[in-house]
Amino acid sequence: MILIDYPEKSQWQELLKRPVMNTESLFGTVQGIIDRVKAGGDEAVLQYEMQFDKVSLSALAVSSEEFDEAENLIDEELKAAIRLAAGNISAFHAAQRFVGKKVETQPGVTCWQKAVPIEKVGLYIPGGTAPLFSTVLMLAVPACIAGCREIVLCTPPGKDGKVHPAVLFAARVAGVQRVFKAGGVQAIAAMAYGTESIPKVYKIFGPGNQYVTAAKQLVSLRDVAIDMPAGPSEVEVLADVTANPVFVAADLLSQAEHGVDSQAVLITTSKELQQAVKDEVERQLDLLPRKEIAARSLANSKLIVVKDMEEAVEMTNAYAPEHLIVETENYMAVAEQIVNAGSVFLGTLTPESAGDYASGTNHTLPTNGYAKAYSGVSLDSFIRKMTFQEIKPEGLCKIGPAIEVMAANESLDGHKNAVSVRLDAVRRDK
């Protein structure tokens, strides 16, 4: 890891840069795959599964027998863990239900909002080096709570043509029944435009590699909504001299093992902690099965010492991390000053892993500094808010003349007339 001591503010922007994810360079290749799936449907998806995932499939849909088989393959300990996590995620997201309130803005003018679910949503679960069954829960549980009528899940199969059993078990626990064996760009295209097997959806959720990210960006330009911009995963630990270097090192490494382009950052007010964490990272790294991936990720990672906690908080808000762990003596007071972060973990006993799996918060979060403007996935991600209004005669008389004046001054006489004819009718009826 890179050690940096007391950087000047003029250096912060360069210092806090993420590993570059240049999806624009992939747009030509990705658009070609999207166009072929759009035109060729299932046949194109099956061909790309053979080309990219090296698997020959006779059908894309996961059968009920495959769901049953998957459940029998999962040991009871993992089943219990998945059920516990699903319960906590459900409890946290169910508490986010929107309750609309009718507001009388003027006597006789009533306005209100109503939350309605997005009818059709697509969930993408990557394959690769680790089966992300936890992401199934993070996306499917709030989708079900929101009341989405159709929930479609796509994930790449293994070389045996089957979906990882933990992914299928998590889908069943969460309430998802329609799972398809499709990965990468072809899965995003299939959900964006529909095929003979895979339904078209209105919004696509889920992480993925740079090709998946590029595909989501392209289809979102005009055809379907997406959850948020995405980049490599990241964590920051904000710590003082009271922090436990063993815990801090473990948190940094838990992020580094995600992928070679992940980033882990320590911002601390303690030079002693910086050195202790460096030593501890090196010791713990040797114990990780995914040591090679974590080691490459650490090349993007930094241990930064700043002069005081005020500067540490300012640098943190400038970085806007996806995950932020605050391990300081007065962590609640420090947390009050944090305004830019995806999800915040407070105190010595709250690792990022808790939010990744089972505390109840969502782990689908804005990366690459997007936490300055985007929220992580929540129940709101799966709903839309529609506004309603009702105007009675008294209300029209109250606000009608103002509407006429405003419309006339914008030279929109049709707008003015729509009010004028009603006002005339109301006045005649008096």
Catalytic annotation, residues = 322-323
For residues 298 and 285, the answer to whether their CB atoms sit within 8 Å is yes
81-118 burial, b at 16+ Cβ within 10 Å, e below that, comes to ebeebbebbbebbeeeeeeeeeeeebebbbeeeebebb
Query: Binding residue per annotation — 255?
Result: yes
The two three-digit tokens of residue 237, written as one number: 């630990």
Query: Binding residue per annotation — 413?
Result: no
For residues 203 and 224, the answer to whether their CB atoms sit within 8 Å is yes
How many of the other CB atoms lie within 10 Å of CB of 299?
13
Query: Binding residue per annotation — 186?
Result: yes
Query: Binding residue per annotation — 164?
Result: no
Query: Binding residue per annotation — 415?
Result: yes
Q: Which residue has the tokens 């949503």?
A: 121
Query: Binding residue per annotation — 233?
Result: yes
Query: Binding residue per annotation — 274?
Result: no
Query: Binding residue per annotation — 323?
Result: yes
The string of DSSP codes covering 133-196 is HHHHHHHHHHHHHHT-SEEEEEE---TTS---HHHHHHHHHHT--EEEE--HHHHHHHHHH--S
For Cα atoms 310, 311, 315, give the angle at the middle one, nearest 5 degrees: 120
Tell me the C-alpha distance between 395 and 399, whole Å. 6
Annotated binding-site residue numbers for Zn(2+): 255, 258, 356, 415
Annotated binding-site residue numbers for substrate: 233, 255, 258, 323, 356, 410, 415
Annotated binding-site residue numbers for NAD(+): 124, 186, 209
Annotated binding-site residue numbers: 124, 186, 209, 233, 255, 258, 323, 356, 410, 415
